[in-house]
Structure 1
Amino acid sequence: MKIELEQVLPSQIEARSFEIIGRELEQMGKVLDPEQEPVIKRCIHTTADFEYADSLVFSDRAVEQGLKALKAGAHIVTDTRMGFSGVNKGRLEKLGGEALCFMADPDVAEIAAREGCTRATASMDKAAGLYGTGGPRERIPCIFAVGNAPTALVRLYELVTEGRLKPALIIGVPVGFVNVVQSKELILTLPDTPYIVARGRKGGSNVAAAICNALLYRI
């Protein structure tokens, strides 16, 4: 069998990939919301998984609210260093924003050990202390990008319902089996918090970063 490689210049690989994604979505009969389309396509581009065309759930005006926050210099808090590494910090910093991950901070480790909780939970508490009600960064919009730890999403849900935190956007795409589906469903019940959630077990830190970048590339 002869294998023929497609001849594509390095600078054109991404554009060609999105052309293929668009064509295959069309063949599947998928008609995407224009606002959500760049996010969905970038998740597919990152994973080669077309199920994201069905599993991604957007709250009303989620993309609009995310873009508004980024234009206002939002900070992005991730639950993993991998997610942090994947965010395009050059574009974010040009907007006056910053990417942060507290998972490896010594105080987070101490809180987790003392409280008997995960570091992901403790890292969300640290973020709430900074960006939540009465915190020193309360006026800075904060986007939470969770791609690994369902406990981070559960804690975000608790902090929001307790009135201690008002995220500009929650990106809830942890991957796995234990409490992953449940944690995402909790976020879907929040009435006044913008969110982008990948229903089901699929997700990952790479998907969380991809969603952040899909928004950043719109500005």
Structure 2
Amino acid sequence: MSSLNTVTEQLTAAGRAIEHDSFAVIDQEAGPHTYDDAQWQVVRRMIHANADFDFNGLTEFHEGAIAAAMSAILGQRSRVVADVEMICVGLSAPRLAHFGLTTHQFISDADVIAAAQAENTTRAVQAMRKAHRGGLLDGAIVGIGNAPTALIEVVRLIREEGARPALIVGMPVGFVSAAESKDLAATLREVPWIVIRGRKGGSTLVVAAIHALLGLAEAQARERALAS
């Protein structure tokens, strides 16, 4: 049996070589870090996505984040709930299907827009409320890369309405409430999280982080199969 991932790797030898060479460059140039091996797999892929070494240091993990992600992904009962369609489109459909994961986003739904207009909130807030009403947040990997208000609302839903995502990947980018929303998420003890401190972030980073987590899950599943 191969020691390499097959589902979460590039599909051609040339593609895999380029990606692995890129990771080698990142490992060489990133400098020292305090992440464990699994966390570094996530941070390294985020650096790879943006060629920005600042994510070595800006990225922070709840102590239970990796374990929670592995449990959710390998449990075949989870889903990804995103703040914007870009995340759902960016995630690899074959990789998600391998783990039985589905994606959900409601940012452009007519009822979400109407509720945001009626209540003078953002569509992102109403989208997270709709996901919660539909029972989709519980046990989900929540990926937020665009809307700080979505992340703030998820924290509220956790604390006030008992929502229990498996993991929050909170990486909204921007200048208004972006840094503050991630600081708020990092105070959560009820639900594990991965955040990028400060203004940097974006949907691309959420996709990269989730792809890294899928890769870790495939490796863990392979190790379990070999041990059994």
TM-score normalised over the length of structure 2: 0.85
1:164 to 1:45, Cα distance in 2 relative to 1, 3 A: same
Cα RMSD after superposing both structures: 1.6
Task: Give the distance between the partners of 2:24 and 2:113, measured in 1 at CA.
Answer: 45
The aligned counterpart of 2:88 is 84
1:37-52 maps to which residues of 2 (within 5 A)?
37-52=40-55
Q: 2:73 aligns with which of 70, 76, 79?
A: 70
Task: Read off the aligned partner of 1:184 and give its amino acid letter.
Answer: K
Give CA deviations for 1:157-216 in whole Å, capped at 9, x if unaligned: 110111331110001100110011111111111112100000000000000111111111
Secondary structure class of the residue paired with 1:145: strand
The aligned counterpart of 1:13 is 18
Matched, 1:184 2:182: yes
TM-score normalised over the length of structure 1: 0.88
1:9 to 1:88, Cα distance in 2 relative to 1, 3 A: closer
Kept in 2: contact 1:89–1:99 (CA 8 A) = no
Q: Extract unaligned runs of 5+ from structure 1.
A: 1-7, 132-136
1:121-160 maps to which residues of 2 (within 5 A)?
121-131=125-135, 141-160=139-158
Q: Extract unaligned runs of 5+ from structure 2.
A: 1-12, 219-228
Give CA deviations for 1:72-120 in whole Å, capped at 9, x if unaligned: 2311011111111111222112212101111111111111111111110
Task: Read off the aligned partner of 2:91 and give its amino acid letter.
Answer: V
Secondary structure class of the residue paired with 2:38: coil
Q: 1:29 aligns with which of 25, 28, 32?
A: 32
Give CA deviations for 1:33-54 in whole Å, capped at 9, x if unaligned: 1120110000000011111110
